[in-house]
Structure 1
Amino acid sequence: MVTTKPFADITANSEFSGESEVLFMIGSIFCVKSIIRNNDYNVWIIKISLCSDNQHGLQEVLMNVKQKTANGETNLQTLGKILW
């Protein structure tokens, strides 16, 4: 079951005409379905879907990093280690 996260279509408020924009709530986690390069337009097309709270596996990664840090805290430095 996917826990819904609030989102809003903010296309009407965009500074960039001709673009569709959606604002997602902080904490939304997406699963990458595919990544394709479109050479005609020099862009990457990334298809994603909202992950359920149990589906993404991030909890295991955070617990592993927490165990490896001396103080067991999770903060911006911990996030940096995960992203590195």
Structure 2
Amino acid sequence: MTQFIDELALTEQHLAEEEALCTRQTAVIAHVRAAGRNSARAEEVLVHYEQTLQILRTHKRRLQTMEAKRWMDQQQTGMTS
């Protein structure tokens, strides 16, 4: 169970970092546009950050599902950890 908790905590940390990157990149895009410059490359970077964010969210949900199933299995067999 500890492995799932550790991996979940690490995934949550990565999620927070990626969300911060998306926020900063959105600000960069606004700044570039305000300067009248082409923001296409900055927008491409944001798309990649958002894709990574989606992957991390999916991974977090899978870990939570695995943890819940494991807990339920332990309850059914009378084991505790």
**TM-score after normalising by structure 1:** 0.25
Higher relative contact order (CA 8 A, sep 6+): 2
Which is helix-richer, 1 or 2?
Answer: 2
